[in-house]
Amino acid sequence: MRSLSYVAGAAALVLAAAVPAAAADDPGFTIKDPRITESSGLAASRAHPGVYWTHNDQDQPLIYGIDSRTGETVATITLQGVGEPRDMEAISVGRDGSIYVGDIGDNLDGSWDHVWIYRFPEPKQLRDQTVRATQFTVRYADGARNAEALMVHPVTGRVYIASKNEDGGGLYEGPAKLSASGANVFRRIAEVPWVTDGAFSPDGKELVLRSYFSARAYEWKDGRPGADSRVRAPIQQQAESVTYALDGTALMFGSEGEQSDVQRVEVETDGKGSGTGGSGDRSTPGGGAEAAGDGGDRGAVTYGLLVVVGGTALVLGVKRLLRRG
């Protein structure tokens, strides 16, 4: 939510001093395009290695391709045939080579009885162009809600949405195949924490969900999230996006703001060549607070958790005031 950025930023600065940053060989990149001030979604291109797709949290149907080597925009895609977006919040690249954009935000937590997903083929050439997109209407089986995370499973092609709520959200499963005629009903399949974005691993075996102050990886089996583990996400001014690098060796974490940074965090394996959780911190979905960490950083993370609680309370307090206003 834009109006909370300064609050989240202040909390992040305090927390950054309390919790050690995750080590990364590659520091990532900075989005240099002055038009991109509220990068709210991030997806690794399949057709163009090293390019990441993003968009503003806004009502303009524009998608930007960013070269991670330079941080420069190498393609601006204008969507045609989708009407005027309301609150684009998420982006994902599917197994069919299409880009999916989630116009799923609803900061009033249920003011719209439907939201939209836009789908278009990933461009073969990196240049400014206008493309025709297919628009899908989405409704939730248990009523309207706010959401900022849309994920397309890389094996099944099924679309999932994670809702965002201060008391915890839900993970919603779409139909096996989206239909452009009529509403696509998404059904709640699991409880999840406050979520600002999410991404499946390239092999489809894990789902990572992030929030303003943390991230977790869930084992994915038989179409459902299982045991989860802590992901060492970086502290950012307004933590809005996450995606896997194309080869699955790292997670890329993005933030809103002018000249915003995308930080790379190497994926920690479990010794079997898979998994993002390296701390052995496994529990059931939505099952409690972040783990204390390992060895010498235990005290720092414990203190950091106290800061998170205080910062979250501040954010939620401001949110309530804004709603009343």
* Residue partners of 10: CB distance under 8 A and separation at least 6: 311, 314
Residue 256: its pLDDT value, please? Answer: 92
- Sign of the Cα torsion 136, 137, 139, 144 reads positive
In this prediction, residue 165 has a pLDDT band, given cuts at 50, 70 and 90, of confident
In this prediction, residue 276 has a pLDDT band, given cuts at 50, 70 and 90, of low
Q: Is it the case that residue 313 has pLDDT exceeding 60? A: no
Residue 269: its pLDDT value, please? Answer: 72
- The residue with greater pLDDT, 77 or 60, is 77
Residue 59: its pLDDT value, please? Answer: 77
4-8, 153-157, 254-258: which has the minimum mean pLDDT?
4-8
CA distance linking residue 92 with residue 54, whole number of Å = 9
**CB-CB neighbours of 165 under 10 Å:** 15
Of the candidates 322, 293, 285, which has an alpha carbon nearest to the alpha carbon of residue 168?
A: 285
Q: What is the pLDDT of residues 89-127, one digit of tens each?
A: 999 999 989 999 999 999 787 789 999 999 999 999 999
CA distance linking residue 217 with residue 127, whole number of Å = 35
Q: Is it the case that residue 10 has pLDDT exceeding 90? A: no
Q: What is the pTM of this model?
A: 0.80
CA distance linking residue 237 with residue 220, whole number of Å = 29
Percent of the chain's residues with pLDDT above 70: 74
- The residue with greater pLDDT, 79 or 309, is 79
Residue 156: its pLDDT value, please? Answer: 97
Q: Is it the case that residue 137 has pLDDT exceeding 60? A: yes
38-42, 66-70, 197-201, 289-293: which has the minimum mean pLDDT?
289-293
Backbone dihedral region of 50: left (phi > 0), alpha (psi from -120 to 50 degrees) or beta?
left
Mean pLDDT of 141-149: 95
CA distance linking residue 95 with residue 102, whole number of Å = 16
Choose the most confident range, by mean pLDDT, from 165-169, 215-219, 271-275.
Answer: 215-219
